[in-house]
Copies of this chain bind each other. A is one copy, B any other.
Amino acid sequence: MSLIVQKFGGTSVANAERVFNVARIITETHQAGNGVVAVVSAQGDTTDDLIEKAKEINPAASKREMDVLLSTGEQISMALVAMAIQKMGFPVVSLTGQQAGMRTDNTYGNARINRIDTERIQSELGKGKIVIIAGFQGLNRYDDITTLGRGGSDTTAVAFAAALNADLCQIYTDVDGVYTADPRIVKDAHKLDEISYDEMLELASLGAQVLHNRSVEMAKRYNVDLEVLSSFKKNQGTKVKEVVHVEKMLIRGVARDNDVARISIIGLPDQPGTAFRIFSLLAKSRINVDIILQSIGRDGTKDVSFTVGKGCLDEALTILNENLPGLGGRAITHDSNISKVSIVGAGMATNAGVAATMFEALYEAGINIQMISTSEIKVSVLIDLDEAERAVKVVHNAFHFGE
């Protein structure tokens, strides 16, 4: 008997018909002789509706109370999915994050998982029950509800798969796998059968919007076999695992991320510790920084530019402006009208010309590059938001994915 963890997103449980569709997938897996733990998100627009309710009352509500509010969305879903499974005649129990043993740190709205106490789940599985768990939520050491923030439900599923030593973690979503580019933008994009953790990680963090990078990071760390597949089509999905590539260069895909804003601090003293002080200030407020560029010092000063998620821009600017005198900078500029377009693939670093091919395609399309960042398996460029879709198309075309 295998143990399979399945995760169903908000669109997969959006109404009664879809709840039964999910119940069918779960019970078929159960009937095939597997233990099943299913993690569910809030139905469709529930989370947005709850946020709207909160905003109407207090747009600056504490994150603790927001978590109390938002965690109800997944609790509603888990009960409904369990009821559908009961209707189909299978033994089932639904568990909140707390009941399922999810223990987190105290960062309301964006908590990190500390540990999972699997005792209750193991006991329910031992009784032959299908276990439905509310994604996205846990309990901190003050006995208060926390939510895991963006990508939290994917991360919940992978964390339970790791803690339970599951054989497979299936992420059911509204797309049927990982594509070489967003199929809504690039018509001849095609689905990948498999992809490595590292490649998926770059694709996820670059806005492929299939799997959140936190979940992939965790899958890689605990070596959890992932599968991304559609809850609507019965196609084979994309497997995410530790793939060993041969020397051949493999560009996996082109991704775009519009949730990015650039901040630049101008005229900083050209001395050690400047970058450290900037980024430790931001880290204290749990603001994640992505691409960082530092200009070469000139006239005793230098500039530091970096990107943050659009949602963190205001908070980051407030913190930096307050501390600008201490940092010794002259001015702060920012731009949220930008997009990050990236190519991802193992072996990129050892294959000359990959970045050049990308830059050439953008140049020929007349698209200006504002910042460049490279790693072992990706090349990212920051460009104007208005040009992002066109950039994805021309770059996808340049690498002949369609052929």
Point out the residue from B20, B57, B65 that lies within 8 Å of A57, measured CB to CB: B20
Stretch at the interface among A73-81, A227-235, A389-397: A73-81
Point out the residue from B56, B58, B80 that lies within 8 Å of A53, measured CB to CB: B80
Chain B residue at minimal CB-CB distance from A74:
B72
CA distance A19 to B61 in the complex (A): 14
Any B CB within 8 A of the CB of A54: yes
B75 pairs with A62, CB closer than 8 A: no
A interface secondary structure, majority? helix
Query: What are the residues of chain B within 8 A of A50 when measuring CB–CB?
Result: 76
What are 29 A-B interface contacts by the 8 Å CB criterion?
A16-B53, A16-B56, A16-B57, A19-B57, A20-B57, A53-B76, A54-B79, A54-B83, A57-B83, A60-B86, A60-B87, A61-B82, A61-B83, A61-B87, A62-B82, A64-B93, A65-B79, A65-B82, A65-B83, A65-B86, A65-B94, A68-B96, A69-B76, A69-B80, A72-B75, A72-B76, A75-B75, A99-B143, A99-B144
Q: How many residues of A contact B (CB 8 A)?
A: 37
Query: What are the residues of chain B within 8 A of A334 when measuring CB–CB?
Result: none
Query: What are the residues of chain B within 8 A of A54 when measuring CB–CB?
Result: 79-80, 83
What distance in Å separates the Cβ of A396 from its nearest Cβ neighbour in chain B?
42
Query: What are the residues of chain B within 8 A of A65 when measuring CB–CB?
Result: 79, 82-83, 86, 94
Identical copies of this chain, number: 2
CA distance A84 to B59 in the complex (A): 10
Given contacts A50-B76, A143-B120, contact A84 B58 (CB under 8 A): yes
Contacts A16-B56, A61-B87, A96-B145 aside, 15 further interface pairs with beta carbons under 8 A come to A53-B76, A53-B80, A54-B79, A58-B83, A58-B87, A60-B87, A61-B86, A65-B79, A65-B83, A65-B86, A65-B94, A69-B75, A99-B143, A99-B144, A120-B143
What distance in Å separates the Cβ of A6 from its nearest Cβ neighbour in chain B?
18
Which of A57, A64, A94, A99 has most B Cβ within 10 Å?
A57
Point out the residue from B58, B76, B79, B143 that lies within 8 Å of A86, measured CB to CB: B58
A-B interface, 10 closest residue pairs, ranked by CB to CB distance from nearest:
A69-B79, A72-B72, A61-B83, A58-B87, A58-B83, A68-B79, A16-B56, A65-B79, A57-B83, A65-B82
Query: What are the residues of chain B within 8 A of A57 when measuring CB–CB?
Result: 16, 19-20, 80, 83-84, 87
A86 pairs with B68, CB closer than 8 A: no
Query: What are the residues of chain B within 8 A of A82 when measuring CB–CB?
Result: 61-62, 65, 68
Query: What are the residues of chain B within 8 A of A19 when measuring CB–CB?
Result: 57
